[in-house]
């Protein structure tokens, strides 16, 4: 028979969340052990991986920056390659934690990495190839199978503690459980997802943990929770309606965080634990993203607690509990963190975007807590650690403050697509290894000392001491001797009762003191609970006020949004009208451009026609000049004949009838040759030169340099090679026009002709070019 007892250490005042690591010596600290596991590349990915293994503790990460490939090296406690088996990871990482668990030590193991890097597979694995969690459960039950306490002898007190019940109470609880299962119909079990409804198991390799205390009884408890959108849910709790109720986090008397009202189930076999895990896994929130078909949308925590009832005495093959007894509790928390991801890659929207934001915020808070812990250790500071910013860090606050060892498995997908995310994961892992946690041995020894000295668990057998009964007999007046004998027996009984009454009084006093002490503790817990309830009510009241204010702001913003929408519609109408105006103007511009093109074509045709007409006129003038020159040549021949016959000719007549009115030619070259001997009968006609005339010199071809002494003289002139626009002629400052042309004469000599004209403005705003003179410059041999 086990007497009921409950472990409730003396509560202490609440404290602030701050690291206590700086107060311990470095010899009592151990760093956070960080392991790395590389996932095999997928069959479709034939590219070179971005991760290169250098040794069993070091790897390098390749990445590209501005077209240059760079490399960063990272170190871990151990690196598991893509060919490492699940058993190898369990033996190296989880088995030492199980050895500490059986000794009453706490441990936290969580997997960290990007989405699709193999975190869930590392923890759970497959049925034929189990991961860390199934192997831990199998190993525990392989070791404590024959040393388990009867069910419900050790029972949770719903406040993160345990109590020992009597065998009668345990039997009643077992009967209640059987009756409750018998009343539940099978159809309801299927609908509600009964824990034992589906048979689910993993392969068992038969591994055991040696060095167990055979004088102890063991009980194994499991719980399964998730943190979704920074809210805690119990996956083993029966849902009220369509969804699970959110749970709150509380602090027990030892300042350890726990989930208030969590369902903690005592399991007696690995099969039962697997079925409970499978039932909770069906309620876990999963989702499909662009990176993973089944992605965890929450952080899941599977807790295994092993309770050890120490100092059990064995009598006739049955366990008995001595007067003084200790309960040791060890906890192993296996955390499957949701994958860190970028929304640009996952393309999440709506609910998935909110989930991804919550996941990234909680992981960022975890990084921030680790950074501040490392900073406090390096600088011996006491900076506040923001545990309360996330439910994830707030739940595991006690681990970070030294209530157990912390280990991490970083899962890496070596694909180049995950290179940027892997770099952030590696940086966090490298920083985590610099954080040191107080060794769990020191904390457990101190905890045991407190338990033995302050709150020993006394278990009495049989209750209070029983006083001797007073004998009862019948008196016979005739038999006086029997009366005397009876009186002697009564006297001895009274003496014995008087002697044992002191022991009974002492026991009663001890029991009353213990009961009073229990009442005081319960009162203190009640006061703390009321204080917490009061604070929670204040927080809820503030949250309600905040919610009301936010609702008011939302309404105001909706009104502003409606106004902005109406203004936007008005602006859209204005934009449409402006677009119409722009289109009309574009149409007009296009019409103007077409008209200009037509005008240019007309001008080009007119200029071409003018040039043809000018060429025809010049051709006629050239023919007329050639005829005149021939006539002059005839006259010169006659003059030569006269000179040869030494006949003095007084005058030389110039042909008076010239067909070209524009050309008034000077005397022929023979006049220049013989001007000593002869006088011209007709004086040379010269044109007056106006000082203020501005000439437009038109060089249609590039002239050959003139070797003559006489050169064209135009003081004010503007030279052009081609008449491209009307303004070249219509310029009001220009009054004279000169066309420069060069050609070969009959003898092959270069002859330069200057066609001179006046520029006369017309009534329509244009100008008319009237040719009135031609000057020729040529060189001849004097003996030709």
Most confident of 115-124, 168-177, 773-782: 115-124
Query: Which residue numbers belong to the known binding site for ATP?
Result: 113-120
Band of residue 274 on the pLDDT scale cut at 50, 70, 90: very high
One DSSP character per residue, 401-413 reads IIISEEEEEEEE-
pTM summary value? 0.55
In whole angstroms, give the CA distance from residue 139 to residue 127: 16
Residue 17 reports pLDDT greater than 50 = no
- What pLDDT shows up at residue 548? 92
HEC sequence for 463-490: CCCCCCCCCCCCCCCCCHHHHHHHHHHH
Give the pLDDT confidence of 713-763 residue by residue, as tens digits.
888 888 888 888 888 888 888 889 998 888 877 777 788 888 999 988 888
- What pLDDT shows up at residue 23? 44
For residue 401, being part of any structural domain is answered with: yes
Residue 451 reports pLDDT greater than 50 = no
In whole angstroms, give the CA distance from residue 371 to residue 428: 9
Chosen domain end from 419, 440, 458: 458
Enumerate the β-bridge partners of residue 335: 110, 301
For residue 586, being part of any structural domain is answered with: no
- Identify the CATH number of the domain in which residue 700 sits: 2.60.40.4330
Between the CA of residue 199 and those of 136, 145, 178, 195, 204, what are the distances in Å? 19, 20, 19, 9, 15
Most confident of 10-24, 132-146, 342-356, 370-384: 132-146
For residue 143, count CB atoms less than 10 angstroms from its CB and return exposed for 0-12, middle for 13-18, buried for 19 or more.
Answer: buried
For residue 70, being part of any structural domain is answered with: yes
Residue 46 reports pLDDT greater than 80 = no
Give the pLDDT confidence of 639-654 residue by residue, as tens digits.
888 888 754 433 333 3
For residue 251, being part of any structural domain is answered with: yes
Backbone angles phi, psi at 767, to 5 degrees: -150, 150
For residue 595, being part of any structural domain is answered with: no
Residue 219 reports pLDDT greater than 90 = yes
For residue 665, being part of any structural domain is answered with: no
For residue 140, being part of any structural domain is answered with: yes
- What pLDDT shows up at residue 730? 83
- The mean of the pLDDT values for the chain is 78
What is the mean predicted confidence (pLDDT) over 666-683? 41
Chosen domain end from 458, 488, 507: 458
CA 101 to chain centre: 37
In whole angstroms, give the CA distance from residue 412 to residue 149: 42
- Identify the CATH number of the domain in which residue 85 sits: 3.40.850.10
What is the mean predicted confidence (pLDDT) over 433-451? 55
Structural domains in the chain (count): 2
Of 603 and 446, the structure prediction assigns the larger pLDDT to 603
Query: Which residue numbers belong to the known binding site?
Result: 113-120
Residue 705 is part of which domain span?
Answer: 690-784
For residue 599, being part of any structural domain is answered with: no
Chosen domain end from 429, 458, 487: 458
Residue 293 reports pLDDT greater than 80 = no
What is the mean predicted confidence (pLDDT) over 543-548? 91
- What pLDDT shows up at residue 6? 36
């Amino acid at each position: 028979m086990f007497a009921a007892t409950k472990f409730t250490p003396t509560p202490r005042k609440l404290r602030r969340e701050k690291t206590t690591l700086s107060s311990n010596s470095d010899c009592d600290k151990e760093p956070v052990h960080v392991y790395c596991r590389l996932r095999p590349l997928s069959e479709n990915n034939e590219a070179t991986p971005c991760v290169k293994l250098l040794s069993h503790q070091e790897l390098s990460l390749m990445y590209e920056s501005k077209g240059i490939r760079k490399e960063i090296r990272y170190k871990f406690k151990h690196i598991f390659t893509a060919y490492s088996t699940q058993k190898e990871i369990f033996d190296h990482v989880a088995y030492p934690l199980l050895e500490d668990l059986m000794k009453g030590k706490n441990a936290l193991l969580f997997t960290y990495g990007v989405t699709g890097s193999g975190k869930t597979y590392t923890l759970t694995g497959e049925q034929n190839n189990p991961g860390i969690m199934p192997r831990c459960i199998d190993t525990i039950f392989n070791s404590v199978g024959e040393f388990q306490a009867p069910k419900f002898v050790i029972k949770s007190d719903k406040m993160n503690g345990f109590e020992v019940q009597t065998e009668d109470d345990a039997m009643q609880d077992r009967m209640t459980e059987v009756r409750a299962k018998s009343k539940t119909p099978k159809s309801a079990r299927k609908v509600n997802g009964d824990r034992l409804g589906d048979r689910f198991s993993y392969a068992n390799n038969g591994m055991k943990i040696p060095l167990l205390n055979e004088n102890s009884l063991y009980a194994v408890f499991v719980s399964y929770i998730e943190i979704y959108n920074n809210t805690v849910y119990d996956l083993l709790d029966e849902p009220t309606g369509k969804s699970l109720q959110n749970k709150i986090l509380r602090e027990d008397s030892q300042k350890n965080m726990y989930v208030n009202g969590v369902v903690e189930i005592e399991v007696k076999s690995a099969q039962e634990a697997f079925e409970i895990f499978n039932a909770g896994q069906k309620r876990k929130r999963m989702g499909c993203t662009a990176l993973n078909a089944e992605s965890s949308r929450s952080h899941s925590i599977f807790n295994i607690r092993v309770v050890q009832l120490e100092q059990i005495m064995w009598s006739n093959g049955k366990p008995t509990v001595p007067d003084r007894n200790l309960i040791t509790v060890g906890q192993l928390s296996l955390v499957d963190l949701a994958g860190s991801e970028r929304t640009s890659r996952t393309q999440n929207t709506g609910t998935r975007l909110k989930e991804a934001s919550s996941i990234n915020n909680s992981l960022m808070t975890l990084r921030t807590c680790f950074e501040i812990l490392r900073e406090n250790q390096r600088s011996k500071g006491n900076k506040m650690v923001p545990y309360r910013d996330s439910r994830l860090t707030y739940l595991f606050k006690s681990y970070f403050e030294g209530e157990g060892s912390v280990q991490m498995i970083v899962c890496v997908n070596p694909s180049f697509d995950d290179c940027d995310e892997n770099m952030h994961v590696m940086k966090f892992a490298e920083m985590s290894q610099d954080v040191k946690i107080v060794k769990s041995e020191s904390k457990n020894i101190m905890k045991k000392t407190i338990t033995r000295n302050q709150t020993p668990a006394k278990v009495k057998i049989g209750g209070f001491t029983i006083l001797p009964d007073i004998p009862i007999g019948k008196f016979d007046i005739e038999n006086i001797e029997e009366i005397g004998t009876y009186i002697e027996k009564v006297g001895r009984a009274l003496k014995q009762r008087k002697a044992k009454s002191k022991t009974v009084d002492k026991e009663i006093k001890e029991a009353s003191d213990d009961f009073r002490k229990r009442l005081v503790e319960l009162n203190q817990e009640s006061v703390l609970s009321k204080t917490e309830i009061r604070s929670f009510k204040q927080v809820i009241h503030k949250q309600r006020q905040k919610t009301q204010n936010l609702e008011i702001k939302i309404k105001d913003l909706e009104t502003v949004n409606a106004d902005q929408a109406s203004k936007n519609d008005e602006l859209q109408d204005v934009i449409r009208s402006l677009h119409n105006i722009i289109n009309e103007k574009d149409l007009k511009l296009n019409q103007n451009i077409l008209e200009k093109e037509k005008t240019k074509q007309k001008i080009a045709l007119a200029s071409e026609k003018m040039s043809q007409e000018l060429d025809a006129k010049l051709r006629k003038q050239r023919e007329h000049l050639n005829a005149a020159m021939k006539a002059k040549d005839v006259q010169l021949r006659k003059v030569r004949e006269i000179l040869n016959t030494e006949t003095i000719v007084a005058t030389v007549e110039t042909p008076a009838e010239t067909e070209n009115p524009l050309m008034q030619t000077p005397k022929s070259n023979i006049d220049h040759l013989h001007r000593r001997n002869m006088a011209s009968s007709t004086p040379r006609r010269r044109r007056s030169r106006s000082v203020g005339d501005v000439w437009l010199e038109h060089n249609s071809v590039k002239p050959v340099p003139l070797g003559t002494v006489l050169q064209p003289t135009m003081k004010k002139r503007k030279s052009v090679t081609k008449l491209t626009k009307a303004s070249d002629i219509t310029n009001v400052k220009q009054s004279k026009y000169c066309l420069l042309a060069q050609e070969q004469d009959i003898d092959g000599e270069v002859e330069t002709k200057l066609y001179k004209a006046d520029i006369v403005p017309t009534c329509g705003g244009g100008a008319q070019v009237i040719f009135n003179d031609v000057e020729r410059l040529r060189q001849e041999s004097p003996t030709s």
